Amino acid sequence: MPVSLWIVLALLIYAATRPSSRAAKLRKIPGPWLYATTRFRLAWDAWQARSIHAVHGLHRKYGRVVRIGPNEISLNSLSALRTIYGAGSGFERTDFYRMFDVYGRPNLFTFASGQLHRERKKLISHIYANQTVLSPHFASLVKSKVAAYINLLEREPDLGSEIFASLHYFSFDAISEFVYGSKYGGTTALAGSKQSRKLIQDILNPARRRLAWFTVYFPAYTKWITTRTGILERLLTSMGMMPMRKPFTYSGIRQHALEAFRSFKKASHEDKAKSAESTVIGRLFKVQEDANLSDMDIASECADHLLAGIDTTSDSLMFMIWALSLPQHKECQERLREELSQISVDSQGLPEPKDLTQLPYLNAVVRESLRLYSPLPAFEPRSSPVDTVVDGYEIPAGTVVGMSPFCLHREETVYPSALTFRPERWLTDYGTLIPESDPRNRTFWAFSSGARMCIGMHLANAEMLTLLAAVYRKYKTSAKHPDTSPGITSRFEIFFDETKPKMVEHECHISFTKLG
């Protein structure tokens, strides 16, 4: 063979075996070789509902940057938080979020494009602003749902004491009226409506984890198998091949949301005008033509807001009440009750939500619970269209990067004794809330950050503060099973208090004793 051909062959072999620049950059990022080799190593952790727990373990071993997949990196630092999720970041959401599209249409939560997200957010940001949420109209809405929850505790004490379900009724009734109004889609689960309570049964079903896992790791298979009907559906179900028995997660609520949309669309012009400043759907119909929104754009947006406001608020409140009800936190409950005894209330014994934002210990309890038991603790994936440097590592364009509140909120250098529920960590020596500039606040990430920060944050805070204040002004609470942590489903994970020897998913029993 001529020398020239040998040279060409050698160059071809070298080009084929030489690591690409992209692979070389990724290879420098620490992490176990098996995670770097196949995405199914992390998928196995996810199948066991422990993927974020596994990632947390990897961070403790390898540091603040770790490779968790062939094209996936997890980070755990304040600097990475600012770079990836901060204002002006070039990182955008990945296709992962498209699984949350509703009726086949993207929405505020699922838009990958920052521009599309900003345009949609402008349409409805005012109704979620803190000033709006604390205004008399919306404060009245929140107080009415809190009053209904207190009535449920007295009218149906056995049902009310299982707070995982009963708090779902509370959050469902609150967000449904906020999005659609009482007339066109508001639910009445707290008042005893069987239809409203039935709507959230698919949310309460822990099998939703399995469906979420298949949707993420085997999307084509999941789409095919979940659309089978008739004999084939029954056969696949009997063989255990269906990820979740029907109704699938959120299917009942999505149908309710669609019917609410259709009902509102038929409303009188006068009703629509009145709803423009008091409901999400009213606001979107008002700007429909100017914003070039289709009917399904509005239906998808409203349904997403409805879905987003149920689990997050109810799960957070459940952990707050449970933590305060543990025997080792008796002093926390007493200190909270002492603070609440100083505030003014209306004729029903309910405080004004805006007054509660000024109570240091109540707000510290909420923040500490959200730190330790974030309602959305899982990995939030992003990617950049250009090469980027994060925490000293070169990240090739298109690489999936992300962080999770679960890992960030357990950073011992910021939160010493991170697994301990200690509201005092959010207070100064003088009993006031620590300043926003404090590293503990800058690392706190329960509501995300930057342009993608949770739009419903202020509404959720108003609900949580008001319900806690009303409950602990009237009751003393204790956990019926103090050695057992409640567990919540978030995507395909289970989250619970890791310090407890036992865990029960989607169940939490609390004793409510009226104060003398």
Q: Which residues are annotated as a binding site for heme?
A: 454
Query: Could you tell me which residues are annotated as the binding site?
Result: 454
> Mapping DSSP to helix (H, G, I), strand (E, B) and coil, where does residue 17 land?
helix
Residue 240 main-chain phi, psi, to 5 deg: 75, 20
Residues contacting residue 435 through CB under 8 Å, at least 6 positions apart? 441
- Beta-carbon neighbour count of residue 114 at 10 Å? 17
Q: Which two tokens stand for residue 368?
A: 């500490």
Q: How would you write 220-253 as a 3-class SS string?
A: HHHHHHCCCCHHHHHHHHHCCCCCCCCCCCCHHH
DSSP state of 417: S
- Token reading at 395: 């990240």
CA dihedral sign, ordered 246, 249, 252, 257: negative
Handedness of CA 41, 43, 49, 55 (dihedral sign): positive
Between CA 46 and CA 41 the distance in angstroms is 9
Question: Do the beta carbons of residue 377 and residue 52 sit within 8 Å?
Answer: yes
Here the contacts of 63-66 (C-beta below 8 Å, separation 24 or greater) are: 63/30, 64/391, 65/29, 65/30, 65/390, 65/391, 65/392, 65/393, 66/29, 66/30, 66/31
The answer to whether 473 and 340 have CB atoms below 8 angstroms apart is yes
Burial 440-458, CB ≥16 within 10 A → b, else e: eeebbbbbbbeebebbbbb
Closest listed residue to residue 496, CA positions, set 408, 419, 381 = 419
Helices 40-47, 208-217: inter-axial angle, 10-degree rounding: 170
Tokens of 306: 């409805």
Coil, helix or strand for 404? coil
Q: What angle do CA 97, 171, 173 make, to 5 degrees?
A: 115
Contact 475, 107 (CB under 8 A): no
In sequence order, which residues have a C-beta less than 8 Å from that of residue 206 and are 6 or more positions away? 489, 505, 506
Residue 382 near residue 401 (C-beta atoms within 8 A): yes
Contact by Cβ (8 Å): 410, 56: yes
